[in-house]
């Protein structure tokens, strides 16, 4: 990436204004056209949202987007629809024992709504607050129930693939566990055995940092600072780590950039979360400094890898080891090309990863590490400067997506390839659109000097 050092956050305000206008139009278009009986919308085909996938992991992004739209614009119609949709559609996700995606579905909806109440943006109502909070409490406990202990004494929240599988994605979704803990909840088991959700959440993050992220320390011949593995495989009989793997990347030994992006934002968020815990809380994990250094190392490494392996304008291709990427030459020195003939872009990785760059940058700036902090911050702005404009911003009034050139599952061939093109392009995803809105809200609040946007705003 070629970082624009002179770009100011305020320079992007006109693009943010345009994005929110288009965003509202896209939300209304989707609500007009889409039949919820089909299941959760996942990605677009020829501009129309359709469902495809293993689990219902995207519905919270759809209705969470309505909350973000209200938050950014003050348009009450979006708040009304967000509340109605959350009540009507999201209950099944609270008690869904079959997925690791609780932070995606429930913090994006119930969490964002109670956050607005905590901020005084919506009227205080005791029963409404209780409704949101009980959903968040239960969601975190249900997610934490998916637990595999490992040999080093820790463990992880296992993916929908089963107890042997640690997904890097869940470092962003683990926020459901943290919110539940901070709301005073625990995981209750047989004989009223109480398990700390803080223990589960931190141990999961530590396992992700240890096994899903590489640091150039000789782990294997593909070990490089910041490379990530989508999936880490364990032997559940003895708790031993076995190997890296992937579901949606090219291989276990290459870096699927959306998985990388989840870690890029997940670890900075967990760094911010440490301030909510006492030294006594953190002592069982080696203490505050030890945990902070592990999180910070993972955050720096993944964000550095993104910067080093992304096109000059801040938009990544779908996997840094994809087999035909070499045909693009030194793509890190050129602008991204979503219409190339060899490998697809994944704009959703840019939308997710940009928030990680900004959060890490601000975290370091606040710690007095100004030079490093500015580098990450400016890299985040560089990515958004590209993402929030054509050819990535969707301006076609008939296209239901907001951010174009996202891919879901390249190895399975699920993504639409338009006539005349060689690779998937021109389509959107529910997670890409949501995270574009979320990082836009984050940046807009910074520009305006409003309250800092955090998922822990859900905790009063």
In the Cβ-directed half-sphere of 116, how many Cα atoms lie within 13 Å? Answer: 25
Q: What is the pLDDT of residue 383?
A: 98
In the Cβ-directed half-sphere of 69, how many Cα atoms lie within 13 Å? Answer: 29
For residue 54, pLDDT beyond 80? no
When pLDDT is averaged across residues 52-68 and rounded to a whole number, the result is: 91
pLDDT band at 52 (very low <50, low <70, confident <90, very high): confident
When pLDDT is averaged across residues 265-293 and rounded to a whole number, the result is: 98
For residue 152, pLDDT beyond 90? no
Distance CA 398, CA 288 (A): 51
pLDDT digits (tens, 9 = 90+) for 402-421: 999 999 999 999 999 999 99
CATH architecture of 9-458: Alpha/alpha barrel (1.50)
Beta bridge partners of 49: 44
Delimit the domains of the chain by residue range.
9-458
Query: 52-56, 78-82, 202-206: which range is least confident on average?
Result: 52-56
Listed in order, strand segments (DSSP E) in 141-287 are 147-149, 155-157, 165-167, 187-188, 194-195, 231-235, 240-245
Instruction: Find all residues with CB under 8 Å of 51, minimum gap 6, and list them.
Output: 38, 39, 40, 41, 42
Q: What is the pLDDT of residue 56?
A: 85
Instruction: Find all residues with CB under 8 Å of 285, minimum gap 6, and list them.
Output: 202, 203, 206, 291
* Cis status, amide bond into 316, omega within 30 of 0: no
For residue 53, pLDDT beyond 80? no
Computed over every residue of the chain, the mean pLDDT equals 97
pLDDT band at 177 (very low <50, low <70, confident <90, very high): very high
pTM: 0.98
Cα-based distances in Å from 434 to 64, 137, 216 = 7, 23, 33
How far is residue 52 CA from its own chain's centroid?
Answer: 19
Contact 362, 392 (CB under 8 A): no
Contact 302, 226 (CB under 8 A): yes
Of the chain, the percentage scoring pLDDT greater than 70 comes to 100
Instruction: Assign 3-class secondary structure to 422-442.
Output: CCCCCCCEHHHHHHHHHHHHH
Listed in order, strand segments (DSSP E) in 131-214 are 147-149, 155-157, 165-167, 187-188, 194-195
Beta bridge partners of 43: 50, 429
Contact 13, 7 (CB under 8 A): no
Q: What is the pLDDT of residue 442?
A: 98
């Amino acid at each position: 990436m070629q970082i624009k050092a002179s770009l100011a956050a305020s320079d992007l305000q006109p693009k943010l204004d345009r994005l929110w206008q288009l965003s509202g139009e896209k939300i209304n278009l989707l609500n007009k056209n889409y039949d919820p009986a089909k299941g959760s919308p996942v990605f677009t085909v020829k501009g129309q949202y359709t469902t495809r996938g293993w689990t219902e992991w995207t519905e919270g992004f759809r209705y969470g987007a309505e909350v973000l739209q209200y938050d950014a614009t003050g348009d009450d119609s979006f708040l009304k629809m967000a509340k109605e949709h959350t009540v009507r559609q999201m209950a099944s996700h609270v008690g869904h024992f079959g997925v690791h995606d609780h932070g995606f579905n429930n913090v994006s909806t119930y969490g964002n709504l109670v956050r607005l109440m905590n901020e005084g943006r919506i009227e205080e109502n005791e029963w409404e607050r209780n409704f949101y909070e009980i959903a968040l409490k239960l969601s975190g406990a249900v997610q934490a129930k998916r637990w595999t202990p490992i040999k080093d004494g820790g463990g992880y929240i296992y993916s929908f693939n089963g107890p042997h599988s640690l997904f890097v994605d869940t470092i962003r979704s683990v926020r459901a566990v943290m919110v539940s803990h901070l709301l005073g909840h625990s995981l209750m088991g047989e004989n009223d055995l109480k398990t700390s959700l803080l223990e589960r959440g931190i141990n999961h993050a530590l396992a992700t940092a240890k096994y899903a992220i590489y640091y150039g320390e000789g782990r294997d011949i593909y070990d490089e600072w910041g490379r990530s593995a989508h999936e880490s495989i364990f032997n559940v009989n003895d708790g031993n780590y076995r190997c890296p793997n992937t579901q949606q990347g090219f291989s276990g030994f290459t870096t699927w950039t959306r998985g990388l992006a989840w870690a890029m934002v997940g670890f900075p968020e967990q760094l911010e979360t440490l301030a909510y815990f006492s030294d006594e809380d953190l002592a069982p994990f080696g203490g505050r400094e030890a945990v902070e250094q592990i999180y910070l190392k993972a955050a720096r490494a993944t964000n550095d890898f993104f910067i080093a392996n992304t096109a000059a304008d801040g938009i990544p291709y779908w996997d840094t080891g994809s087999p035909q990427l070499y045909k693009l030459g030194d793509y890190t020195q050129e602008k991204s090309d979503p219409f190339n003939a060899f490998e697809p872009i994944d704009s959703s990785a840019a939308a997710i990863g940009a928030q990680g760059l900004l959060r890490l940058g601000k975290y370091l700036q606040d710690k007095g590490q100004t030079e490093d902090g500015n580098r990450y911050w400016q890299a985040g702005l560089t990515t958004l400067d590209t993402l929030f404009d054509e050819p990535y911003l969707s301006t076609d009034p008939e296209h239901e997506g907001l951010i174009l050139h996202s891919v879901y599952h390249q190895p399975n061939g699920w993504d639409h390839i338009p006539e005349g093109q060689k690779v998937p392009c021109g389509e959107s995803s529910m997670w890409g659109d949501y995270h574009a809105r979320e990082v836009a809200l984050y940046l807009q609040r910074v520009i305006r000097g409003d309250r800092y946007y955090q998922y822990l705003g859900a905790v009063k």
